[in-house]
Amino acid sequence: METRPETPLETLLEIRGLEVTFDGFRALGGVDLSVGKGEMRFLIGPNGAGKTTLIDVITGLTKPSAGSVVFGGQELVGRKEHEVVRLGVGRTFQTSVVFEELTVLENLDLAASFRRPLWSLLRRRRGVSEAVERALETTGMSALAASRAGVLSHGQRQWLEIGMLIAQAPRLLLLDEPVAGMAQDERARTGELLTEVARDHTVIVVEHDMDFLRRYASQVTVLHEGKVLMEGSMEQVSADPRVQEIYLGRAREGAEDAVR
């Protein structure tokens, strides 16, 4: 069995005692999570486990009632969303942020400009910036650069969104269910894309499709009812009776995230 060497990674994200309550309902009940620089961590768990809420807290969208999120040595709790982006945390949303009337290239260029100072936006630039070029290459969308985003397939649109994140040169990427609604060939392409992105980024991927996880996940954190149930390699996690129970239990109820 292939295991990672036990050399300690430099910690990029350190979450401690995170609690979130919505009208008395505890969506997160004391989450601790450390992610090392350069890691690709999969965050899994059934619907309602608190995965999106955790991403919302990291990115400043949701305020926790307790706990801390330290990113690159800086506390993120209490910061506004745009400050978190500026510190180098990029995320995808479950709803699309692509401008349909603009081309793929224009969408990427706009995303890349997000962290540029205002004066540089006022200057007319010729050609394609290095950040945009890199995003086009990584996502394999160079041939679609001049296409209007509105004509893209669902999968291509997801890749564009990942490209838009890369163009912002984040230190941490948070991807919330990037293969949801994708056909099988698009899933495979996305798995390869994530592997490629993870070569030079730290990435947290929320996913609950077991087939996809078995193929592309190595380090996995399982969230269940607002708490970390366990952490380990995909082999360890998928062999754990508690994990099998929460997934198979759902399967018996006929939930959509059934293990096949």
Q: Tokens 């609950």 correspond to what residue?
A: 208
- Euclidean distance between CA atoms 61 and 53, whole angstroms: 9
Kindly state the smallest distance separating residue 51's Cβ from Mg ion, in Å.
5
- Which is nearer to Mg ion, 51 or 91 (by Cβ)? 51
Strand ranges in the chain using DSSP code E only, listed in sequence order? 11-22, 25-36, 40-44, 66-71, 74-75, 89-91, 172-176, 202-206, 219-224, 227-233
What type of residue is 115?
R
Number of residues that bind Mg ion (CB under 5 A): 2
- Euclidean distance between CA atoms 204 and 149, whole angstroms: 25
Among 40, 45, 139, 178, binds ligand ADP (CB under 6 A): 45
Kindly state the smallest distance separating residue 172's Cβ from ligand ADP, in Å.
18
Q: Which two tokens stand for residue 29?
A: 């009940």
For the chain, the residue count is 260
Contact at 8 Å (CB) between 193 and 139?
yes
- Which is nearer to ligand ADP, 20 or 166 (by Cβ)? 20
Class of residue 236 by CB neighbours under 10 A (exposed 0-12, middle 13-18, buried 19+): middle
Among 3, 47, 65, 153, binds ligand ADP (CB under 6 A): 47
| 52 touches Mg ion (CB under 5 A) | yes
- Which is nearer to ligand ADP, 145 or 259 (by Cβ)? 259
Kindly state the smallest distance separating residue 185's Cβ from ligand ADP, in Å.
26
Among 17, 48, 150, 181, binds ligand ADP (CB under 6 A): 48
Kindly state the smallest distance separating residue 121's Cβ from ligand ADP, in Å.
34
| 22 touches ligand ADP (CB under 6 A) | yes
- Euclidean distance between CA atoms 83 and 78, whole angstroms: 10
Q: What angle do CA 240, 69, 180 make, to 5 degrees?
A: 55
Kindly state the smallest distance separating residue 52's Cβ from Mg ion, in Å.
3
Under DSSP, is residue 23 helix (H, G, I), strand (E, B) or coil?
Answer: coil
Contact at 8 Å (CB) between 44 and 208?
yes
Footprint of ligand ADP on 53-82 (CB under 6 A): 53
Under DSSP, is residue 220 helix (H, G, I), strand (E, B) or coil?
Answer: strand
Among ligand ADP, Mg ion, none, the one that 48 touches (CB under a kind-dependent 5 to 8 A) is ligand ADP
- Which is nearer to ligand ADP, 48 or 78 (by Cβ)? 48
Among Mg ion, ligand ADP, none, the one that 156 touches (CB under a kind-dependent 5 to 8 A) is none
Kindly state the smallest distance separating residue 129's Cβ from ligand ADP, in Å.
34
Contact at 8 Å (CB) between 54 and 205?
no
Contact set with ligand ADP (CB under 6 A): 22, 25, 27, 45, 47-53
Contact set with Mg ion (CB under 5 A): 51-52
